[in-house]
Amino acid sequence: MRGINLGLHRIAAVTQALGSPHEKFAVLHIAGTNGKGSVAAMAEMILRTAGWKTGLYTSPHLEKLEERIRVCGRDISPRRFAAVASQVFEIEEKLFRRRRLDVRLTYFEFLTACAFLQFARERIQIAVVEVGLGGRLDATNVVRPGCCVITGVSLDHQDLLGSSLAQIAWEKAGIIKEGVPVVSGCRAPAAKSVVQAEARCMHAPLLEIDEDYSIRVVAERGPKATIDLITPNRFYQRLPLALAGLHQARNAALAVAGVEQLGAFPVRVADVRRGIAATRWPGRLDVYPARRRTLLEGAHNVEGASALCNHLTRRESGEIHLVFGAVREKDIRGMGRMLFPLARSIHLAPVANSRSANPADIAAQHSRFRRRIRIHDSALSALHAAWEESPRDGLVVVTGSLYLLGELLPLIRADAARKRRRQPPGGEGTHSPGT
């Protein structure tokens, strides 16, 4: 299936032929450059804790495709996925033969149709749906949501969304619908003004995290924070965040704000507290006590790298050894400028994607770090070399692409499990479930 072919006409034709499954449940629609997955996971967990039957559609997956489609916290089974995929494929073939589709569905369009069909079959009450890319022309944008959330806007995917913050914000603001409440976490003035203008044009009530909410970190326990959150509706005192990193305070506020705007799906303060505290989202500041303590973070753009850099600067005092890989279209120079100075050794590896950047090309962009750089022909060899080079009290950081994390996570998890089995009671701590 084709990679990226933005537009709504194909997904609209297929969903209509399937009986418009996306109209059979309510939707919380989430767009933004960074934080979409964390916000979606927290929002879904709050709603599920409150007793609502939920669906969660996110991308990309880390280990297996079924992670993208979840009902009440459970991945779709391979058998059920095969059933819905077969039905979508049959409809797609019929429409293509009748020339109602100009080309076949893209990978993401196909999975989006599968997710909507599965949610309708399961008779969920509300789906939390993460935008795949941009917003205006993203396949998920056929939904009519009860609330939209735009987590924030920064430079990413400029080849598809535009070269400026204003252009990218315009694409993301395309999820705003007539009269539907929208919550914005945009900070940059250029992006804020675009979202404000689109909300006015669509007569959509706009709530801005920096204007209408108060977030205060009142305690930190290791890498996790406890916050006080004041919204236009409530005061949430001492919310314990399960997801690591101070940036998750803002993501939690966005999740709570989005859920609050779903008037048909009320939640209690206790539901919010338990939901936020129980959220799991692997691969985001996710630490495993493997052969060496290993942190996985899905930072894949400059803003994400900046958040990771801030976390490492605040939380880590020992040696850092970096395993890094990325896809070609990313700002690899900008990410390396932030992360590479922190590392004693830098292990460059290809990622499991046809768009993978060549490790030698990454090294060429960072010649000032050439003495620290090691080039590897696989992610596994890079990980093992980083483990070997790190001292016992060091930290190995795996980042740059979720594809890299997805390839290495099973190996790191298995190594951590073997280490735990070998340890006597009272040994090193167990895995810290990250974000």
| pLDDT tens track for 243-281 | 999 999 999 999 999 999 998 999 999 999 999 999 999
pLDDT at residue 423 greater than cutoff 90? no
Q: Report the percentage of the chain scoring pLDDT > 90.
A: 87
Q: What is the mean pLDDT of residues 105-124?
A: 97
pLDDT at residue 428 greater than cutoff 60? no
pLDDT of residue 154: 84
Q: Report the percentage of the chain scoring pLDDT > 70.
A: 95
Angle value at C-alpha 149, between 143 and 155, nearest 5 degrees: 105
Q: What is the mean pLDDT of residues 302-315?
A: 92
Asked whether 213 and 202 are in contact (CB, 8 A), the reply is no
C-alpha span between 24 and 179 (Å, rounded): 20
Three-state helix/strand/coil letters over 230-264: ECCCCEEEEEECCCCCCHHHHHHHHHHHHHHCCCC
Kind of pairing between the strands at 235-240 and 224-230: antiparallel
Look over the chain and give the mean of its residue pLDDT values, rounded to a whole number: 93
Question: How distant, in Å, are the alpha carbons of 79, 98, 126, 277, 363 from that of 52?
Answer: 25, 40, 7, 18, 49
Host H or E run for residue 148: strand 147-150
pLDDT at residue 4 greater than cutoff 80? no
Whats the size of the chain, residue-wise? Answer: 435
pLDDT of residue 158: 67
pLDDT of residue 434: 47
Nearest to 37 by CA among 408, 325, 332, 298: 298
pLDDT at residue 424 greater than cutoff 80? no
What is the helix, strand, coil percentage profile of the chain, to 5?
45, 20, 40
Asked whether 273 and 236 are in contact (CB, 8 A), the reply is yes
- Residue 201 tokens, joined: 């044009």
pLDDT of residue 7: 79
Question: How distant, in Å, are the alpha carbons of 210, 234, 239 from that of 217?
Answer: 15, 17, 9
Q: Which residue has the higher pLDDT, 316 or 121?
A: 121
- Residue whose structure tokens are 């992360």: 339
Q: What is the mean pLDDT of residues 315-330?
A: 91
| pLDDT tens track for 152-196 | 998 777 667 887 999 999 999 999 999 999 999 999 999 999 999
pLDDT at residue 316 greater than cutoff 70? yes
pLDDT of residue 433: 45
Q: What structural domains does the chain harbor?
A: 9-206+246-263 (3.40.1190.10), 286-422 (3.90.190.20)
pLDDT of residue 3: 61
pLDDT of residue 28: 98
| pLDDT tens track for 10-50 | 999 999 999 999 999 999 999 999 999 999 999 999 999 99
Asked whether 336 and 359 are in contact (CB, 8 A), the reply is no
Q: What is the phi-psi region of residue 224: left when phi exceeds 0, alpha when psi lies from -120 to 50, beta otherwise?
A: beta
pLDDT at residue 2 greater than cutoff 70? no
C-alpha span between 61 and 94 (Å, rounded): 29
